[in-house]
Amino acid sequence: MKTAISIPDPLFRKADAAAEALCISRSELYRRALEVYLEEQEGATVTQRLNAFFDENPECNGVEPGWAEAQADGLARDP
């Protein structure tokens, strides 16, 4: 599908340079950027829904002590 969009000149120049550096068309760059943005927004929605669930169900918000220790040990070893 073809479409026309308006963006500020400085952003256009940055996008044009990025597309050239990546050896892809501007259309491909815009498609990829939009895809990443929409995936991030979807992830934010999931996070918001989880936060709302745990706000409404505080009894489900705890981490069992054994799991908390395992997570802490893993984080301590992670460079």
Segments making up each domain of the chain, as ranges: 9-77
Share the mean pLDDT of the chain: 86
Confidence of residue 66 (pLDDT cuts 50, 70, 90): confident
- CB of 61 within 8 A of CB of 54? yes
What is the C-alpha radius of gyration for the chain, rounded to an integer number of angstroms? 21
Is residue 59 scored above 90 in pLDDT? Answer: no
Given pLDDT bands bounded at 50, 70 and 90, which one contains residue 2? Answer: confident
CB of 26 within 8 A of CB of 15? yes
Q: Residue 69: is it exposed, middle or buried by C-beta count within 10 angstroms (0-12/13-18/19+)? A: exposed
Question: Quick check: 32 pLDDT over 70?
Answer: yes
Q: Specify the pLDDT at position 78.
A: 67
